[in-house]
Amino acid sequence: MALHCSRTCRQYLLHLAHDNVDFRLPEIKSLLSILGKPFDPSENFKEKVGLSPFWRLNGLCEDDIRHIMGRTVCAKSAFELWGHGGTTDELKSSLLKYPADSMLPFLQEKSTYKINVYTFNKTLIMNDRIKKIDALDFLPFKGKVNLKDADHVFCLLEDYGTDPNNIPEEPLYVYFGRWIADGQRDLIRSHSVKKRHFIGNTSMDAGLSFIMANHASVKKHDLVCDPFVGTGSLLVACSQFGAYVCGTDIDYNTIHGKGKSSRRNQKWRGPDENIRANLRQYGTERQYVDVLVSDASKPIWRSVNLFDAIITDPPYGVRESTRRTGSHKDIIRPPEDYGGESHVPVTLEYRLSDIFTDLLNFAAHHLVMGGRLVYWLPIYRPEYCEEMLPLHPCLSLLSNCEQVLSTHTSRRLITMEKTKELEKEDDLALLTDPRYGPYQGLDSFREKYFSGVTKRKEEEARTPADGME
Ligand SMILES: C[S@@+](CC[C@H](N)C(=O)[O-])C[C@H]1O[C@@H](n2cnc3c(N)ncnc32)[C@H](O)[C@@H]1O
């Protein structure tokens, strides 16, 4: 019984990477939601959440932590927390209070161990590190030190705050714990688009693709769809986590891996440059369902409640056009304009506000209950307020994280969950309730983006370069 209590009262420490700061909390919460566990941080979490790279979590067991670390790209490592405090004395008294039955199995004579020192926002010389390790000699380590391949690894973690211009002499807070597992940051390097077989101008960065898959709580055997699939970066990330993946794109060349290459030193795409080959590159080809040429503004899927997650990066009209198919009666240009070809491509402008209205409707129809929609929304920052976010009666907003692109523009990663089946009255509400009206602010995003770029270019041209005055 006592053992049970000390197990459930354990606290774990997550050491988070200091990039993509805004995306960390929804990532960890989403990974916990796969286990059906709540996010239960230490009391002082609220004031620190934005910036601190160290989070103390309650109410979890070691298996939960291993699950999180098996997926996260935002956390670097996790520890069973043995002690912590604002000073080294506080750390010592906290460590001395840690239950012996939780410590001793890892300090046995027959086992080897190693202690690391990690400092955030300060670099220590080796001698200072050794002194800090020596100061832990009150802990009853009985085994031998093995720096190369220890049975148990411990870590002293020191937090020197987040201001690189104001680094304190002594740490603001210190932690000591037993290392449990590292996160999946290696995936960011191993899946870098720089080394990917098939890429395009708008291929999503590997780190953000994995973050999106995690925000969507993608699980093994889920079926995931990307309706604006492009070169399939989001499918690559989801397949890595064991989901079956499919997608659509209006661009025939992208889907079939034909046409001009996006690589600097290559004119045309090679024979096997396609999404399936990307999955093959990472050993997940068996997760590939298919991709097809299709317009996301048109309904093509028969079944409702089909996808466990919809993850996508819709076009903003900045590096790719926003278009949809039209009908021949919409043609206003004569056939000669198309080189006299018998097939006349009919495409119309696809307004950003319509893209997002259609996307939310698509999710409301085709997600299973509890399934998630994760997508990027372009934002003109001076005009943004949360009330502007597109809403739907069947979808609840879970998180909304900003990635700043310039002083005036950003994109927001929106995560919604299907919480209600679509009913007749929802169609009426969508037409009449102003809350569900199209997000007009979006339609001028492209002009505002380019006016910002143009303004910056003009300013740069006016500002004399260093040393030129
Ligand atoms: C931002 S890119 C997606 C990039 C993708 N995430 C990747 O990693 O390569 C948007 C994609 O939407 C496609 N698209 C534009 N309009 C579309 C439409 N009406 N229906 C489906 N796809 C469309 C474009 O061809 C483009 O490939």
Find the CATH number of the domain harbouring 109.
3.30.2130.30
pTM (whole model) above 0.85: yes
pLDDT, tens only, 242-262: 999 999 999 999 999 888 887
The domain containing residue 209 runs over which residues?
Answer: 188-451
Q: Do residues 194 and 154 both lie within one domain?
A: no
Q: Do residues 168 and 203 both lie within one domain?
A: no
Q: Do residues 202 and 79 both lie within one domain?
A: no
The count of other CB atoms within 10 Å of the CB of residue 173 is 20
How do the pLDDT tens digits run along the chain, 469 residues long?
A: 334 444 556 899 999 999 999 999 999 999 999 999 999 887 766 655 557 899 999 999 999 999 999 999 999 999 999 999 999 999 999 999 999 999 999 999 999 999 999 999 999 999 999 999 999 999 999 999 999 999 999 999 999 999 999 999 999 999 999 999 999 999 999 999 999 999 998 999 999 999 999 999 999 999 999 999 999 999 999 999 999 999 999 999 999 988 888 777 778 787 789 999 999 999 999 999 999 999 999 989 988 899 999 999 999 876 666 777 776 555 555 545 544 444 445 677 888 888 999 999 999 999 999 999 999 999 999 989 988 899 999 999 999 999 999 999 999 999 999 999 999 888 888 888 888 877 666 666 777 776 765 555 555 555 443 333 2
Residue 356 near residue 364 (C-beta atoms within 8 A) = no
- Write the single-letter amino acid at 50: G
In a domain, 460, yes or no: no
Domains identified in the chain, total number: 2
Q: Do residues 58 and 204 both lie within one domain?
A: no
Q: Do residues 177 and 318 both lie within one domain?
A: no
pLDDT, tens only, 411-438: 999 999 999 999 988 888 888 888 887 7
Of all atoms in ligand 1, which is nearest to the CA of residue 297?
19
Q: Do residues 213 and 139 both lie within one domain?
A: no
In a domain, 198, yes or no: yes
In a domain, 363, yes or no: yes
Query: Is residue 204 within 6 Å of ligand 1 at its C-beta?
Result: yes
Query: Is residue 182 within 6 Å of ligand 1 at its C-beta?
Result: no
Of all atoms in ligand 1, which is nearest to the CA of residue 199?
9
pLDDT, tens only, 42-73: 776 665 555 789 999 999 999 999 999 999 99
Q: Do residues 202 and 58 both lie within one domain?
A: no
Q: Do residues 247 and 355 both lie within one domain?
A: yes
In a domain, 361, yes or no: yes
Q: Do residues 376 and 295 both lie within one domain?
A: yes
Q: Do residues 72 and 173 both lie within one domain?
A: yes
In angstroms, the CA 176 to CA 116 distance is 10
In a domain, 10, yes or no: yes
In angstroms, the CA 40 to CA 6 distance is 17
Q: Do residues 207 and 163 both lie within one domain?
A: no
Find the CATH number of the domain harbouring 203.
3.40.50.150
Query: Is residue 202 within 6 Å of ligand 1 at its C-beta?
Result: yes
pLDDT, tens only, 88-139: 999 999 999 999 999 999 999 999 999 999 999 999 999 999 999 999 999 9
Sequence-separated contacts (24+) of 67-70 with Cβ below 8 Å: 67/31, 67/34, 67/35, 68/14, 68/28, 68/31, 68/32, 68/183, 69/180, 69/181, 69/182, 69/183, 69/184, 70/181, 70/184
